[in-house]
Structures are given as C-alpha cells and as structure tokens.
A and B are shown apart, each in its own frame.
Chain A
Amino acid sequence: MALAAADRDSRRIASEEDGSLVAATIAAAAEQPAVQARQVAIGSLKLRLHFLTHALAAMFAGAFAAAPEDGAGGESWELTVADGSCGMPPPALVPPDRDGDMLLHADAESYILWMGRHAQALYAVDRRRRRALYWVEDAARVPAWERSRPFLPILQAMLDGTPWIAVHGAAIAWQGRAVLLAGPGRAGKTSLALAGLAAGWRFAGDDFVLVRTDASPEVAALYATARLRDDMLGRFGALEPARREISFDDGERRHELAFNTLPGPLAIGGAPLAAVLLLDRRGAAKPVFAPVTRTALLNALAATTAVATPGHEPARMGKLLNLLAAPLVPRRFDPGRDFAAALAALAEAVA
C-alpha cells in the first residue's frame, strides 16, 4: 500500500532483477552455520527456523505456538534468523539509508521489507525456493512487539499462496468452536482473550492469529505470547508464571507473557470459527450484542494487519472479504464489566 514513492538518490537495480538478488542474499545467509533450529507450524505450512546466534534463538524460538503434527503435510519453508553479530556482512538488500521509513517491494517472486525507523530489520522472502531471511542490525534494538510476534511480515508473505492469513485480532475457543475478536488497540482484545485462557478456553492469540478464510473457516494459534498492560496484570494472577519481562511501548509499561513454558492445563491452539465479533466497549454493564456492518468489521481487521504486514493488499483483502462472506453473521460486542458474564455470552455465541 503506497502513499508515496521512495525518493532516494542511491543506485538501484531494476525490479525484474530483484528476484535473483533476493534469492542470492537469502541463500548466502542460509549457508551460515546455525546454532539452533526449530520447526513450527504456520497454518498449513511447516517452517524450519535457523538461528545463527544463541541470543536470537533465546529471543524468538519460544514465541511460536505450535510444532507441526507428526506426518503433517503442507509446504515446507526455511527461515534464517541473523543479526549484525553473526560474522556475516550485512545482507546486500539492506538499503543505504538505514534510518529511513519502511520500504517495501512485493511481487510474485519475492518480498522485501525494510523497517528503518523501528528496528532496522530486513524481512526478505524468496517465494520460489521457499526460503526467507530475517536480519536485524543489533539484536538489542529488537522492539518488544517483534519479540512477541516475530517475523510477521515474512510469515504473511509465506501464507500468500494459501487460504490462511495472519490477522490482527484475538481468538479463543470453547468446546471446539472459536470466536474471532476484532478491534483497534485498547479495545480489550487481550483482556478478554486472557480471561478466556484463565477460565479454560483455548487461546489462539491476543494480537495476531491465523485465520483460514475459505469455505471451512477456522483459527489457529500463531504465537504463544501476549502483552499485558500494567494495570491489567492484577486481574490475571493465574498467568503470573508466564511473565517474562517488562517492556515499554510509547512510554506504556507492558508485561510480556510467554505461555509455552507454563506447566498445567493452559490450552493454546485453534478451532473451527463460529463467530466474528467487533469488540466495542460502550460502557454497558452487561454483555450486549448488536448488528454491525461487514465494512466496520473489515476496517477493524484490516487496518493493523495491512500496516504490520504490508504488501499484496488486493489478494490479502480478498481473503478477509472471503472470511466475511462465510456463513458467520458479524456482530458488535460490548463485553460489559464482568469477564465471567462476557465469557458466558461468548460461549452462547459460538454454541
């Protein structure tokens, strides 16, 4: 999604040559020795992560929700995770102006995203060879949101050829039927999803979740993490052991939670999708459902999704429109003031 073309005076290569340079850049990184590897499930895909440093593995490997099931089919992808301390030179795709805005190039062969101002990180995907590279100059500068939901633009690009999409929203499931909760930041997605997790619901995510958008809509967990505002921590004492670190986003203190290492019965995973709701707190005392337009729901689902994972907007928007065409009646949901009552209402909504 381009509001303006980049205006740089450095030398460029023509876009038709980008594919080969992307492939060569990713292949060069993949030849570096990995210190740790991990296989994770990304919707219908199997992704093998190759970490080039122990620090990167410690930072990212535990964020993912699921390993592929034994014997699972699906495309296999490789992702090399590297930083400036790996001993390899900076990838050739790192632009001259490292502090600049986000730069994007996406076509049928390759996907390149440079996050200049935020993390100085490169996300590159070679679609034909199903290989990708995440490179960050300084691992100490990786922002908290990247540690909580690693490599999201790369994963979205991998999913482009599938009915799955990573969507900004929360999802929880009760008795095998899931609800997808859309809404802007501070709408209450995390609180409600964690309340569900603490109450025995299956948790598919509080920020970005995988959604299958064909005739059999379902949600799947992508990450086993959550980010809780300081003022909410006291409401989720049961999740205290999942607390890993404290972060600051725009001056706001957050507790970073990771569920993979928790003992006990917490359930992380997905389920067939039974309801799609726009979370909209309007001060109701008790849970209230109300009609909502599909466009309002699309707006809530698409805004942060498109910004966090830019590129290929027509196709990705088409997936979201397919989701809205599924036999699910979108509704607005004000959860009221009590989590237990809200969860009871959601249980009825997905039944």
Chain B
Amino acid sequence: MGGDLDMLFGPAGPGIISRDFGDEMVVANLDTGIFYSLGGSASRIWSGLNSGYTGRQIAASFPQDAAASVSEFLAQLLAEGLLVPAEAPVLNPRGLPGTPTFDAPTLERFDDLQGLLLIDPIHDVGEAGWPLLPQTAIAAE
C-alpha cells in the first residue's frame, strides 16, 4: 500500500536531519541511529515533501507519470518513521527544488550505529534531571 499523495508531511522530529549533496541526499534518524542514502529522484521527493508539497504535486512536477513511484517511496519513508503528517504547508518560495527528470527513487539503509546502541544503550536523562544521592539532592535544594 502506498502513501497518501494528497497529505502533507514533515520530518518526524528534531532527530531527523538531512543534507543534499546534489548526487545524493543523506538522511539521518538520530533517534534510532539509522542513516539513509536517497538516490535517483528520492532526493527531489524528500525535499519536496519537507518543503510543504504533497506527493501528488511532486509527482506532477516530473515529465512522466510518477504517481505510483512517489506513493510507494512515500510509504517507505513513513514505514521508516522519517515523516509524520503535517497540518499546514510551509511552501518553499523558490518552488519545488531539484531537477525535473525522473529516476526511480532509491533508499539505502545503514544501521551500524543502531546496532551499537542496542548493545550498549545510553540513557539520556534529559528533563528528568541527573540522578543524585539523597544527601546530595537535599544539599542542592
């Protein structure tokens, strides 16, 4: 089943970062420790989705019918937890980025970091605060 071509999407959180190198889009999910290499027209689709365009608008920007491929790729991105539905579009004023030729989108996955984190988890205490001995906590108050 493909992704909904008429919905708006955005990155699944601040842990999703990406960088466009022209010939390759690198996407990192820092929450899971998985890296993705986006090739073909995947880079343009990713950029378009993250610029406030729907999958259908992105598919229509290609010279040939790309709706099925875009929908399938969108489903992959959702399955990987990289995108979530967005409510309001934030359109890129420069228009849909990238070149309007279509090459089958590819997504290659690298999970070395995830494997290491599963072996040796790191607990980010975050908002919970740093755990202290009782007498230290009392002294700090």
Contact = CB atoms under 8 A, between A and B. Distances in A.
A243 to B, nearest CB: 29
Nearest to B123: A6
B113 interface: yes
Nearest to A308: B116
B19 A321 contact: yes
B53 interface: no
Contacts of A105: 124-126, 129-130
A323 to B, nearest CB: 11
A92 B108 contact: no
Residue from A18, A293, A311, A324 whose CB has the most chain B CB atoms within 10 Å: A293
A13 B21 contact: no
A55 B13 CA distance: 46
A27 to B, nearest CB: 14
A68 interface: no
Nearest to B37: A295
B132 to A, nearest CB: 6
Interface string A291-302: 001111011101
A119 interface: no
Interface in B24-50: 24, 26, 28, 30-31, 33, 35-37, 39
Nearest to A112: B130
A96 B37 contact: no
Contact of B26 (A8, A93, A295): A295
A234 B86 CA distance: 60
Contacts of A303: 33, 112-113, 115-116
B129 A14 contact: yes
Contact of A96 (B39, B113, B131): B131
Contacts of B126: 2, 5, 15, 105
Interface string A210-231: 0000000000000000000000
Interface in B82-141: 108, 110, 112-113, 115-118, 120-134, 136-141
A341 B121 CA distance: 40
Q: Is the interface of A mostly helix, strand, loop or mixed?
A: mixed
Interface stretch (A264-272, A312-320, A331-339): A312-320
Interface residues of B, number: 44
A11 B33 CA distance: 30
A97 B21 CA distance: 45
A4 B121 contact: yes
In this complex, the interface size class of chain A, counting residues with CB under 8 Å from chain B, is 35 or more
B14 interface: yes
A21 B24 CA distance: 45
Given A300-B112, A303-B113, A12 B130 contact: yes
A313 B21 CA distance: 20
A56 B6 CA distance: 63
Interface in A12-58: 12-15, 17-18, 21
Nearest to B39: A293
Contacts of B120: 101-102, 307
Given A1-B31, A10-B133, A304 B116 contact: yes
Nearest to A100: B123
A242 interface: no
Contacts of B117: 1, 3, 306-307
Contacts of A95: 130-133
Interface of B: 14-15, 17, 19, 21, 24, 26, 28, 30-31, 33, 35-37, 39, 108, 110, 112-113, 115-118, 120-134, 136-141
Given A3-B117, A296-B108, A310-B124, 13 more contacts: A2-B124, A5-B125, A12-B130, A13-B130, A13-B132, A13-B137, A17-B140, A94-B133, A293-B39, A303-B33, A303-B115, A306-B116, A317-B30
Which 5 A-B residue pairs are closest in the complex by CB-CB distance?
A2-B124, A295-B37, A299-B110, A11-B137, A12-B129
Interface of A: 1-6, 8, 10-15, 17-18, 21, 92-97, 101-106, 112, 184, 293-296, 298-300, 302-304, 306-307, 310-311, 313-314, 317-318, 321, 324-325
